[in-house]
Amino acid sequence: MTDKVTTMPDWRPQGSLSIYQGSTVHSSGTTYFLVRSGADDSKLLAVHGDTSGFQGTQLGAGEPLLCPLTPAHAAVLRGRLSWLSPVTLGLQTSAGFGDRLGLATPGHVRAIRRLPAAATSVAPIFAQQSVRENARTGRTPQQVLDDATWGLLEEGWCGPWGADADHLKTPAATEDFAAAGYTFFTVDPGDCVDDGAQVAAFSELEGKVRALPWDALEDSRQDLETRYLGNSYVVDGPAQVFDREMLWRAAAKYGAAVGHAAAMYRHIESRMENRPFELEVSVDETASTTSLAEHYYIATELRRLGVRWISLAPRFVGRFEKGVDYVGDLEIFSQQFAQHASLARELGPYKLSLHSGSDKFSIYSIAARLTTGGSAENPGSLVHLKTAGTSYLEALRTVSRVDGALFREILAYARECYEVDRATYHVSAQLEKVPGAEGLSDAELPDLLEQFDARQVLHVTFGSVLDRFGEPLRATLRRFEESHYSGLEAHFVRHLTPFVG
């Protein structure tokens, strides 16, 4: 039997220790809670009752065992408290929270809890990190999951949540995520997309189609044309009929990507060993937008190959740059997004995923409104919002307010690293538009987190900055964790409220 305990255990912490009041839970005769040491801002797990599987320090008879927050202890805790393990979330409106520092989950939880009461809400993915991000932060998939686990215990979260292995490009990249217990896998076959097919002369297309990996697609050009040519699909208007040029462009552009996504799906399925999981297919980090015919081709071919997916991230019109609002014509975006949403309902239903979704405030209400009404079981919006770097920027905002000297050092170093670090990101910030911190007062430093160019420079240099300033940055956030959590809470309430209906 498990009870969420709302009163403090009958234990008075000694010295500088204090209890996180929301963390206490009682299960099968054992009580668990987190404590904080005022001496060094570190955290410990307190276990009172059955301490098998835990190792730590017991200060006296009848006292709880105080244990370090290790991977082994996180695993034991997840085995005992089932809600601390991620699960699949289905077609419910959802949002992913990237956490590059491993300290943001309590703020994310508070934001979810602050959302207005509604018939439909937002299902959270509290552990989300890509291979690229882990490489730059020096973290592992297990560490990301464990950091989320401790944050959830700290805040007393007992609801369902997911864990996303983001932007997976190779089968090998999935291994550690599957072993750690992730439930959501975002495959990114973007390297297989041929953007040139969208503008190639018709005479070039035949060669591109002939060169497709037909074995991987379990198909042939003749069979492909038999299925599509002359057939039509309807998207909020007149039927669209596939002719040879439309089909060849779609197949030449996305055929290899479809084959790779199917191979990735099968590999993940084999590694999950009958454990439930959800798949997202992402082609958003490419140079050209995904047309409706191409969307139809991708979904239809994935389904033919037996792939089951919960969400798709096309390359939408406009620019989804890191850390800033949507750049583009909102009317055109709205028109095209509505058509993609119609296809997702017709061919699935499945969710449309907004990648680089951080801070895209101008399109949230549009996306939520146009994806509403997926099914009787899931009447909310068929949309998934994916955020990552914005939590890191909120951490920097906290530092700018409480430790101006450290923030100035970080900004100066980010300016040095920007031209190199920007290479793998879609950003347009101009370094000369980012003011040097030496010309700003301490009171003006937080304002840089509202400036387009400064946000992007700080956003994409996170790996370099953490290599040099990771320890003092984390120490500052631990020392001022309530300010950090409060900033995250307010920031994500603004992100999520448009999706609550």
Establish if 241 belongs to a structural domain.
no
Q: What is residue 237's predicted lDDT score, i.e. its pLDDT?
A: 74
Report yes or no on 244 lying in a domain.
no
Domain hosting 444: range is 390-491
**Catalytically annotated residue among 166, 294, 481, 489:** 166
Asked if pLDDT for residue 383 goes beyond 70, the answer is: yes
Listing DSSP states for 316-379 in one string gives -SSB--TTS--BS-HHHHHHHHHHHHHHHHHH---EEEETT-TT-HHHHHHHHHHTB---SS--
> pTM above 0.85?
yes
Q: Do residues 119 and 501 touch, judged by C-beta distance below 8 A?
A: yes
Q: DSSP character for 102?
A: S
Contact yes or no for 354/251 (Cβ under 8 A): no
Going from the C-alpha of 373 to that of each of 52, 96, 336, 440, 451, the distances in angstroms are 48, 21, 18, 49, 36
Q: Determine, yes or no, domain membership for 113.
A: no
Catalytic (active site) residue 447: no
Last residue of a domain, one of 70, 97, 117: 70
- Domain assignment present for 258: no
Listed residue (127, 166, 164, 158) closest to 143, CA to CA: 127
Average pLDDT over residues 468-483: 98
Express each pLDDT in 432-466 by its tens digit.
Answer: 999 998 889 999 999 999 999 999 999 999 999 99
pLDDT in tens, 260-280: 999 999 999 999 999 999 999
- Tell whether 429 is covered by a domain: yes
| 6: confidence class by pLDDT, cuts 50, 70, 90 | very low
End residue of a domain, out of 70, 101, 127:
70
pLDDT of residue 8: 46
User: Are the C-beta atoms of 64 and 50 separated by less than 8 Å?
Assistant: no
Is pLDDT of 172 > 90? yes
Res 159 pLDDT > 90: yes
Task: Please check the confidence at residue 66 and state whether its pLDDT lies above 50.
Answer: yes
CB 317 within 8 A of CB 333: yes
Judge whether residue 148 has pLDDT over 80. Answer: yes
Copy the structure tokens of residue 500: 């609550």
pLDDT at 235 over 90: no
Residue 267 lies in a domain: no
Q: Which of 164, 280, 294, 403 is catalytic?
A: 280
The span from the CA of 272 to the CA of 376, in Å, is 29
With a CB cutoff of 8 Å and minimum separation 6, the contacts of 404 are 442, 445
Does a structural domain hold residue 394? Answer: yes
pLDDT tens-digit series, residues 95-106: 999 999 999 999
Residue 30 lies in a domain: yes
CA torsion through residues 135, 137, 139, 145, sign: negative
Give the total number of structural domains in the chain: 2
Mean pLDDT of 328-351: 96
Please say if 273 is a catalytic residue. Answer: no
- Residue 290, SS3? coil
Q: Please identify, among 50, 70, 90, the residue that sits at the C-terminal boundary of a domain.
A: 70
Closest CA to 122 of 169, 172, 162, 64: 162
